[in-house]
Amino acid sequence: MAETKQADERSPRTDFDSLAGDYAKFRTSYSDALFDAILAYARIGAGARVLDLACGTGLGMLAYVKRGFDVVGVDVAAAMMEQAAAAMPAGARVEFVHGRAEALPCVEASFDLVSCAQAFHWFEPRAAFAECARVLRPGGTLAIFWKHAARDDAFTHVSEQIIREWMGEQAAVASRDHAAEHESGWPVFWEYVARPGSHLGERPFVDGEQIVIEFELQRTVDEFVGYQRSREKIRTVMGDRRMEFLSELARRLAATHRDARVTQRQIQYAFLARKRTS
pLDDT, residue 74, reads 98
pLDDT, residue 270, reads 98
The answer to whether residues 233 and 32 touch, using CB atoms and an 8 Å cutoff, is no
Task: Note the pLDDT tens digit of each residue in 79-115.
Answer: 999 999 999 999 999 999 999 999 999 999 999 999 9
Tell me which amino acid residue 187 is: P
Largest CA distance in the chain: 60
pLDDT, residue 8, reads 36
Integer Cα distance of 277 and 93 in angstroms: 28
**Strand, helix or coil at 155?**
helix
Integer Cα distance of 275 and 140 in angstroms: 5
Which stretch of 10-19, 33-42, 186-195, 255-264 has the lowest confidence by average pLDDT? Answer: 10-19
Task: Note the pLDDT tens digit of each residue in 138-194.
Answer: 999 999 999 999 989 999 999 999 999 999 999 999 898 778 899 999 999 999 999
pTM assigned to the model: 0.90
- The CA-based angle 65-1-140, given to 5 degrees, is 40
Integer Cα distance of 274 and 276 in angstroms: 6
Pick the closest to residue 272 from 61, 44, 55, 23 (CA basis). 44
